[in-house]
Structure 1
């Protein structure tokens, strides 16, 4: 009788598998023939007695009229459930020992432990998933199709076991250690970012859902664990860190220096996400930093804008605009500040030449043109020619041209057009 047709008892096949599984999870090398033998043991067991009812513990099957039906939700009558449970229990016991080895560790120690054991466990679980692929394709798939949502492919089952046995007891100290390292990096200390990226990779991999697509039993990653056990705390710490930094920095430095610091911090946070966090964190992280460092400091920023306009520090003003423009509607007040400044400068400049300008069209018109040129350059260089600031320039010019010391002295709001007409006549 061939091996594929004889009945292979569970205890016999488990004894053959156990030594190989121990090799896999003790990170010992395995040659291809040994690996293929493990696959053969699983395959022979699964096909040894197709008519035998073997289901996961807690369910049974009845046979009516030649049809096999379940009195639970155990799926089709395919051998594999008892072996599946053996594998699951093995991982549970193995992971209890892993967890016990790391439960008293803190700081970088727990991160080195967690990432090292996780990487090895993940690799080993992929190996076991491969030599158990027959169970995945047949027994697991049939169970899933019958409605069982607590049965996973072997690799996913291994991830679920890690999540329950190792992650749940250790996640607080692991996450806390990551946050401490990030704080150190923000304080200009050099850290081992691979420790954090290893943890993040684990948190992402541990989130999964089961989907049925094209009759294939697959797993799709989600970010539930990453968001609930890391990102939430990371964003809270980020807000606290930058709120304190903003208050402290502004006590000892100018707002302009503060804005330069903000620009640097924003670049650093982008790099941080690109280096070791999940890409989905970028938008919410940057929004949080913008709110704390820019939105909550707008009053001081607006006051600084007035100083920069007065001192004609247009390069610094460009940075101020660039950062303020990150906050919705925050530039509305900035446009008003620019409009008022241009208007006041126009009024004051015309007043200085009013003695001659009232009767000299050339002095008056060229003064107006010079004012407009000067602030058009400001709008283009400091505000990127943004339409709202161009409109503020036009509005301010319209106001001071139609109502200034010259028009008031003439007692006519049409004085400016008259002087313009005389200026044009002179040119002709």
Structure 2
């Protein structure tokens, strides 16, 4: 039997069959290819690459490197692709604009599908020749699919890309001008540009180099040029408000354009360039318009302006400055309106002008003396609320605008026409408003609204610089509410103290909380006293309803009486019994009686017009005066002064209230005497009133003013001690410190409670130098050393 040698395939015959098949794939793939044909082509590649012929084609290169047959197939395919690309390029020469784009995208769609088919068809070449070449770092060799992309890029794309981009930019400009275009065309081109980004180090990965260089860069430049011309023309012919609407629309369109057909990486560059041209280039006129929009409360336009300028790093700086000045101005105007609506001068009142002393009402020291605290605080809150809503709404709660709001509010809260030169009036007014809110029968608000109002009060409190002033006045007023049992609700009181504690810490409210402890202990003490009296004395005509509060001196902001006082004989036995009771219970403790805080009730039995009589609610001083009339119906000024042992000023003030109510009358024969020790005061037997219970224990304006002034003096003294304590504390830690550094640290430590004056700090330093807590450095005059 004879076996004939199978004819080994040569390159010419093999490629002739392959080229026909590859051409079919590249040009007529939509017609399909049978599986048999596909296998025939694949087998021919395999047979050629695995044949062992010693034909001249399978020779050794002059460099000594063996050329494998796969290289011939690879080279032949590359040559075919180059010819095919040139044919596609030639066919497109007569096409322009959208027609060219349609041709380009259609050819790319066919080619990209065909390339994947060819890649699978030449899989054996990839596996046994290309991979080996890649392992040997031959950078001019690619896998078959990458080869098809490189061929498209080098032989078609690079020759046609300018024509492609011109057509795309023309389409985009038409779309920007309001026409409807075929965005799918642009999307396909973008995908094509992205696909051609080949990573020379790793062909399995891609880059955006081609897309960025040939698409994104010219697209961005065209966008810049287009919007620069449009914006300059539009802003010259229209208002700033209209321009902002236009810019807002354009930015939204560009963002949508990215979503529709651009690569996502373009978004940042494109929007950044649009912001530069549409916003930054016209930023100054927009910023100049900001004040007008604020003046007219154009919330929608302010929102739009913020939305545009917040895109520019420095775009909001000028706006924040304008906003701060505007809010400050509006706050000052609001307070000024309140001050102008208040009386310019305190009206003279008979209760403030007791006839025997010839005293007259003084003009108020400032507008704060006549402005209603509620109206004042409401005016502050109204401005803050309005612009806080603007910041949170139009300005999206941006921290810079919040800071500007805080600075502006801090200014008009602490320095306005009511405060005048000082910053202590606002905390005083705020404390008075709290007092009015938390007292019984308050007409400030309904009980259900109180919590919301307390939160609003804390908003103003946040801006108050002299928080120690608020603390002092609030504690005094709280003490009066607790002593006089006029607090509306203990839960409200506790809620306010909790808010203050949260804002300023435990130390700020510690004494306030201890006041409530004393009130509770006093209730138990009263009950124990009554129980003992019931056991030891039973019921006696000398017994009266008696309630006393024993308060710790260090916790309550109460001062000793500023006048002597003779306790009425009617109250003396009860007074002495409690003294003995308390001394037996707490040996070594001393009771200091605060008669100026005491009050009581008197029942009348002398009146002609009322058989049932009236109940007079009086201060203990008024009680001392009226009880004198149990022994007579007329007393001279000198007799009342001697019997009560009150100071002339206090006696005059208390008599003023009784005279105004006509419980007492000045004797006609002495009414013209003026300041005369012989002036006589008669009990009025014809006194009438529509009420059964009549309260004469009302604050006297002149006394309130004196008390306020004394409180401010106390605050000043406390501040000096706090400054000295801060200096000692700092120097003890630092041992040695320069003058300016010491001043700065003192201010930093105390500014949460008040802002110390430079002059006060210097005075306190001098005091501590005299006391030898610190000393000047011998080497440097502006340096202090701590003296241990």
> How high is the TM-score relative to the length of structure 1?
0.88
Match of 1:38 among 14, 36, 41: 41
Work out the CA distance in 1 between the residues paired with 2:395 and 2:434: 32
Say if 2:235 is the partner of 1:250: yes
Residues 163-189 of structure 1 deviation map (CA, whole Å, 9 limit, x = unaligned)? 222112211111111111011111111
Q: In the alignment, which residue of structure 2 is the partner of 1:82?
A: 72
Q: Bigger CA drift: 291-300 or 174-183?
A: 291-300
Q: In the alignment, which residue of structure 2 is the partner of 1:417?
A: 427
Work out the CA distance in 1 between the residues paired with 2:430 and 2:76: 96
Query: What is the DSSP-based 3-state SS (H/G/I as helix, E as strand, rest coil) of the residue aligned with 1:330?
Result: coil
Cα pair 1:136 1:153 within 8 Å, conserved: yes
Cα 1:354–1:195 change in 2 (3 A) is: same
Query: What is the DSSP-based 3-state SS (H/G/I as helix, E as strand, rest coil) of the residue aligned with 2:199?
Result: strand
Q: In the alignment, which residue of structure 1 is the partner of 2:409?
A: 397
Relative contact order, higher structure (CA 8 A, sep 6+):
1
Q: In the alignment, which residue of structure 2 is the partner of 1:98?
A: 88
Match of 2:263 among 278, 285, 297: 278
Cα 1:362–1:32 change in 2 (3 A) is: same
Q: In the alignment, which residue of structure 2 is the partner of 1:385?
A: 397
Higher helix share: 1
Say if 2:183 is the partner of 1:193: yes
Cα pair 1:242 1:293 within 8 Å, conserved: yes
Q: In the alignment, which residue of structure 1 is the partner of 2:13?
A: 12
Cα pair 1:209 1:221 within 8 Å, conserved: yes
Q: In the alignment, which residue of structure 2 is the partner of 1:204?
A: 194
Cα pair 1:4 1:47 within 8 Å, conserved: no
Q: Bigger CA drift: 190-199 or 6-15?
A: 6-15
Q: In the alignment, which residue of structure 2 is the partner of 1:48?
A: 51
Cα pair 1:5 1:48 within 8 Å, conserved: no
Cα pair 1:92 1:165 within 8 Å, conserved: yes
Q: In the alignment, which residue of structure 2 is the partner of 1:295?
A: 280
Cα 1:418–1:134 change in 2 (3 A) is: same
Cα pair 1:208 1:221 within 8 Å, conserved: yes
Cα 1:290–1:117 change in 2 (3 A) is: same
Q: Bigger CA drift: 416-425 or 393-402?
A: 416-425
Work out the CA distance in 1 between the residues paired with 2:256 and 2:381: 46
Work out the CA distance in 2 between the residues paired with 1:170 and 1:7: 43
- Cα deviation, residue 198, structure 1: 1.9
Query: What is the DSSP-based 3-state SS (H/G/I as helix, E as strand, rest coil) of the residue aligned with 1:80?
Result: helix
Cα pair 1:3 1:44 within 8 Å, conserved: no
Cα 1:138–1:54 change in 2 (3 A) is: farther
- Cα deviation, residue 99, structure 1: 0.8
Superposed, which structure 2 residues align to 1:19-418 within 5 Å?
A: 19-27=20-28, 28-49=31-52, 59-60=61-62, 62=64, 70=65, 78-211=68-201, 218-357=203-342, 358=367, 359-360=370-371, 361-408=373-420, 411-418=421-428
Cα 1:282–1:4 change in 2 (3 A) is: farther
Work out the CA distance in 1 between the residues paired with 2:255 and 2:57: 53
Cα 1:50–1:406 change in 2 (3 A) is: farther
Work out the CA distance in 2 between the residues paired with 1:164 and 1:243: 35
Work out the CA distance in 2 between the residues paired with 1:142 and 1:53: 23
Work out the CA distance in 2 between the residues paired with 1:399 and 1:143: 78
- Cα deviation, residue 259, structure 1: 2.0
Query: What is the DSSP-based 3-state SS (H/G/I as helix, E as strand, rest coil) of the residue aligned with 1:221?
Result: coil
- Cα deviation, residue 347, structure 1: 1.4
Work out the CA distance in 2 between the residues paired with 1:80 and 1:295: 60
Query: What is the DSSP-based 3-state SS (H/G/I as helix, E as strand, rest coil) of the residue aligned with 1:26?
Result: helix
Cα 1:51–1:271 change in 2 (3 A) is: farther
Cα pair 1:103 1:169 within 8 Å, conserved: no
Work out the CA distance in 2 between the residues paired with 1:364 and 1:425: 14
- Cα deviation, residue 414, structure 1: 2.5
Work out the CA distance in 2 between the residues paired with 1:168 and 1:312: 57
Cα pair 2:194 2:211 within 8 Å, conserved: yes
Query: What is the DSSP-based 3-state SS (H/G/I as helix, E as strand, rest coil) of the residue aligned with 1:209?
Result: coil
Cα pair 2:194 2:208 within 8 Å, conserved: yes
Work out the CA distance in 2 between the residues paired with 1:18 and 1:246: 57
Cα pair 1:5 1:47 within 8 Å, conserved: no
Cα pair 2:59 2:67 within 8 Å, conserved: no
- Cα deviation, residue 197, structure 1: 1.6
- Cα deviation, residue 2, structure 1: 11
Cα pair 2:108 2:192 within 8 Å, conserved: yes
Cα 1:209–1:386 change in 2 (3 A) is: closer
Cα pair 1:335 1:389 within 8 Å, conserved: yes
Work out the CA distance in 2 between the residues paired with 1:284 and 1:272: 13
Cα pair 2:8 2:53 within 8 Å, conserved: no
Cα pair 2:419 2:426 within 8 Å, conserved: yes
- Cα deviation, residue 209, structure 1: 2.0
Cα 1:347–1:34 change in 2 (3 A) is: same
- Say which one has the larger Rg: 2
Work out the CA distance in 1 between the residues paired with 2:259 and 2:201: 29
Work out the CA distance in 1 between the residues paired with 2:378 and 2:166: 66
- Cα deviation, residue 5, structure 1: 8.4
CA RMSD in angstroms, aligned pairs only: 2.6
Work out the CA distance in 1 between the residues paired with 2:3 and 2:380: 104
Residues 311-345 of structure 1 deviation map (CA, whole Å, 9 limit, x = unaligned)? 11113212221222222232222211211110111
Gaps of 5+ in 1: 63-69, 71-75, 213-217
Residues 91-130 of structure 1 deviation map (CA, whole Å, 9 limit, x = unaligned)? 1122212111112322112111211122212222221111
Cα pair 1:356 1:363 within 8 Å, conserved: no
Cα pair 1:207 1:224 within 8 Å, conserved: yes
Work out the CA distance in 1 between the residues paired with 2:3 and 2:429: 113
Gaps of 5+ in 2: 343-366, 440-788
Cα 1:157–1:181 change in 2 (3 A) is: same
